[in-house]
Amino acid sequence: MTSDIGRRNLIGKGLPAAGAVALLGTALAPGRASAEEAGTGLRLHPLVGTWTTVTTIEGSTRPPEEGMFAYNADGILSGTDASRVTGFGTWKATGPASFAVEYRHYVVQNDAIGGTVVVTMTGTVTSATSFTESGEAKLVAPDGTVILTHKAKSVGTRFGFAPPRIGRA
């Protein structure tokens, strides 16, 4: 004899457990965790989150470049700039508030990859809502030849919702 669980049993027994897992998953998701990870006592690096940036190229007459970057708890970095160039890379903590970054994005010319920009930076989170970094950007030809190198400095501003207030305003 087979047992038919039935829709009501699934709804009655399955959804509360599924809801609890979904809520727990949301609470523990790295991109949504607060500075102290839920229940672990570990602190996330203060760089984790989404940031807008303004980058100045030293010695250049170009206006500063604006961008937006997401620094994930697992060390993955993704971002874009105002010219709609998307880059990907990694970052790592080098101290409680310091970090190192390496990311790349393609330079496309006539629908072909004309080179890659390789950016390496080191920086410090200076407050809950700001960071500074400096380093260099290299334009690398498809054959691996470094065409040019620029020094750069960036200022980051945290993007997103402010932490909730507790108590009276």
pLDDT digit string (tens) for 95-115?
A: 999 999 999 999 988 888 899
Write the CATH number for 56: 2.40.128
pLDDT reported for residue 153? 97
User: How many domains does the chain divide into?
Assistant: 1
The residues of the chain scoring below 70 in pLDDT are 1-42, 161-169
* pLDDT for the residue 83: 80
Does some domain include residue 168?
Answer: no
Q: Do 75 and 165 touch, CB atoms closer than 8 A?
A: no
Burial class of 156 by CB neighbour count within 10 A (0 to 12, 13 to 18, 19+): buried
Q: pLDDT at position 27, please?
A: 34
Res 132: pLDDT:
98
Q: Where in 128-169 does DSSP place strands (E)?
A: 130-140, 146-159
Evaluate whether 117 touches 125 at the Cβ level (below 8 Å): no
Residue 147 falls within a domain, yes or no?
yes
The answer to the question of residue 29 being in a domain is no
89 within a domain of the structure (yes/no): yes
pLDDT of residue 144: 95
Res 75: pLDDT: 96
Domain carrying residue 83: 49-159
